[in-house]
Copies of this chain bind each other. A is one copy, B any other.
């Protein structure tokens, strides 16, 4: 049986661990410092390229007493974990368009432990997102842009948005399947579309998938085959709702000697049972499958599960009623 030789020789691949950021949505960013430090050391050993510490939310908009610290990812909190981060692992944070006081809270890179700013934006916020990208770029950061909820955007608008981004200083444009609606062939086709514009402007493509239909890993593979080189994963797939592409799956697939799966498996065995015992729940389940297949935000599925319901048929009827 032929292996995916394409995978074996893709030296451009970068893996980003989004456990604290996307997983933080599950447990309100309440990870212990011990957990975050061990994950950091795990990522260093595993050869993971980027670790995302959390959001850079504006403390004037969100009450700091209501969230764990990784909602805000202050430089001093990151430094308490990584020191001067004298490793090959780069540090990223996510800055939401409209929820970040980026001019004030994102310091020049020379003063910060952060290496990459990932701007998350809806398509209608692109002018603001571009301002944030240019601000971060001017401060010396690598930059990413994650256009969210594209499954609700007309392709023509999306193309125009991508063209706009092509003309900025952004380094990486992410294909984001926020609702977990995509089938593998669609992930492949959309990536080809992104790649065309990326190639024209010298940008790279990334993929951030959700597991609503149990397709996050498959979509990541197909997107990679179409040219995405930045691949997001999370440990045990921890992330909002159905979660993300499993980091351990990514590392198992990529036969790249740069990556080592052993540290991640050891971390999972030692740390993830505690996280699950703490009541954090995520992962494939019928309610997420239903919102995913209907191209609906997972929030209602999260509530359905939190409420302890399992009347899936009623839930589907509710979803269809006001979709």
Which A129-157 residues sit within 8 Å CB-CB of chain B?
150-152, 155
A229 to B153: give the CA distance in the assembly, Å.
32
Q: Contact string, A141-177, partner B, CB cutoff 8 A, digits 1/0? A: 0000000001110010000000000000000000000
- Report if A98 contacts B (CB, 8 A): no
A185 to B3: give the CA distance in the assembly, Å.
10
Chain A contact residue count (CB 8 A cutoff): 44
- Report if A265 contacts B (CB, 8 A): yes
State the Cβ distance, A93 to closest chain B Cβ, in Å.
28
Q: Verify B266–A312 contact, CB threshold 8 A.
A: yes
Q: Verify A218–B184 contact, CB threshold 8 A.
A: yes
Q: Which residues of B contact A4 (CB under 8 A)?
A: 183, 185-186
State the Cβ distance, A171 to closest chain B Cβ, in Å.
26
Q: DSSP class of A's interface residues: helix, strand, loop or mixed?
A: helix
- Report if A261 contacts B (CB, 8 A): yes
Copies in the complex: 2
- Report if A262 contacts B (CB, 8 A): yes
Q: Given A249-B213, A252-B290, A293-B253, do A184 and B221 touch, yes or no (CB 8 Å)?
A: yes
Q: Could you name 21 residue pairs across A and B whose Cβ atoms are closer than 8 Å?
A: A1-B151, A1-B155, A2-B186, A4-B185, A184-B184, A184-B218, A213-B217, A213-B252, A215-B217, A215-B218, A217-B218, A218-B218, A218-B219, A248-B289, A252-B293, A253-B293, A265-B286, A265-B312, A266-B312, A269-B312, A269-B313
Q: Which 5 A-B pairs have the closest CB atoms?
A: A218-B218, A265-B312, A269-B310, A1-B151, A262-B313
